[in-house]
Structure formats: C-alpha cells, structure tokens
Amino acid sequence: METELAYDLFPYVRIYKDGRVERLMGTDIVSPSLDEKTGIQSKDITISSNSAVSARLYIPKAAMDSLQKLPVLLYFHGGGFLFETARSPTYHNHLNALVAEANVIAISVDYRRAPEHPLPAAYDDSWTTLTWVASHSVGNGPEEWLNSHANLKKVFMAGDSAGGNIVHHMGIRLGEEKLHGIESPDAIMVHPYLWGNEPLPSETTEPEKRSLVEKFWLAANPTTTGCNDPLLNPAMDPRLSALGCKRVLVCVAEKDILTQRGWYYKELLRESGWNGAVEVMEAPGEDHVFHLWNPSCDNAVKMMKKLASFMNE
C-alpha cells in the first residue's frame, strides 16, 4: 500500500504522512577546496560541539598572506527551509564567485532543515552561527581564519528565498537582543520568502500558485498560525521598527511570485519608523533565483556587482 502524501511540493520535495521525505533536487554535494577559477579557499567547520549546525567558510587565498582585515558575510541558503544545503554545488559556486567579487570572508550556514527539524530550528542555528561569529570580535574566537583576517566592524547578512526570510528574522532578533561583538550588520535579501494571507495589488491571485507558496510554509513550520505569521508576513510584526540593521538591500525578479513582497517590505520598513536605509533592485524579465541557475547572464552579473558594491561602500 502506497504511503499517503502530506505535502506534494513537486518538483522540489515530497513529504509523506509516515514522516518519509523525498528530496527531488538540491541533494548533490561538493567538497570544500581551493577554487582555481576564483582563487577562493573553502573549508567545512562545526559551529559548536553541542549543536548540529555546521558551516562552510570561504576566504580569498591571497588574503591569507595579507595583514588586511576583510568584511564578513554570513550567508543563508534558500530551498524553502526544506531542501538544498551549504554544500550543494549551486551554493558553493555562488559563494566562490561572490567572495571573489566582493573580497570578503563568508560563512555559509548549514542549518537544520524541515520537516525533520521544523522551524524555528533553522532560525536557532542561524542565530547560533551569528553568536559564534561575534565570539571572534577581540581576535580570540575558535576559528583562526576569522581571528586573523576578519573585520567584525563590517558584517553583512545575506540570503536568498528562505535564506532571505532568515536574514529578516535575524535582523528582528538583533533589534531585540543586542549581540556583543557585532554592531548592526547590513542586510541583503535576495528574492526573500515573505508572504501573507491577502494578495497585494498586482500579486497573483491564482489559487494553485498561492497554494504552493503556502504549503512550503506549513511544511516547514507546522505549528504556525498561518501565512499572516509575523515570521512570514512582516506587516504583522510590531517589532519591525526595531530591525537591527542600518542598511537593507532587497533584490527582486520581475517574474517571481514573491516580487511584490520585496517591494512591500521596503514600504513597510519606511512606514514603521525604522531609521535605516532600504533600497530595492529589480531584475527585469527574470524569475525566482535566476542568478543561481544562470550566473553568467547580464542580470546576474549586474546583481553580483551590486551585492559587492553594497558590501564595499
């Protein structure tokens, strides 16, 4: 007898009622290495002995022989909280290119995924990693690459899709809990996974499309109150004005179902009384995370340059 499906999120993942998970993409992994093309060195590390969170670190090889301290980028991968990892070729290649373009040190977080580890596991692991980074602020943390080469006065958080949602959530938490060692990191949210019960003006009302976005959230966060959960709909969060970031860059793609949410996020921040600076960059004619699948296209190259200049301002 065939097991009943709890969530059919084809072509990404299927979740069965007996707890079995069938990930249909984002399952390949690559080892850390010295990338000859970009000159970026990477390695995998465990963040803490009492937690399941690990990360992949990236550094320009040339920086290892230099006294110059580099900005630090904390990166959260996408995949609807359900699939992909920091070790997938897609993200490994993206981080190599981004680190080379921006000349930064990056920590790509391998947070625990739903449904085996429903939210808030991904948020908890991301916060654990943020506090781990902060522990290097006086140069005596557990990781030598950060002690020797990181400038923790310039910290950035970035992520795409579900990772963009994590960036927002980390910003909210930083507004509530000051983190000793990191002052107000700047935030980059690429095609962020934000949503709400009611369609925005010019947002799709097609039930099938809306249902897929909503099912991802329910599968990742079974105890949620729904799509107006403040974790998914920032309009419902009274803490928004205290977002603990000084600058926010939101990247959206014209054909992406989540585009209107990115623009709305800018509006919400401005209306909330938050006193930082926010800007939106839209890629015409593109769809969700197009830059990961087609990194050499014009819009992806423009976006990469924008991310780098944002981190080097």
Residues recognised as catalytic: 161, 256, 288
119/221 Cα distance (integer angstroms): 5
Cβ(157)–Cβ(187) under 8 Å?
A: yes
220/229 Cα distance (integer angstroms): 13
Tell me how many degrees the CA angle 224-192-81 measures, rounded to the nearest 5. 50
Contacts of 157 (CB under 8 A, 6+ apart): 73, 74, 75, 76, 130, 167, 170, 171, 185, 186, 187, 188, 245
109/53 Cα distance (integer angstroms): 8
191/207 Cα distance (integer angstroms): 21
Both tokens assigned to 52? 């399941």
Backbone dihedral region for residue 103 (phi beyond 0: left; psi -120 to 50: alpha; all else: beta): left
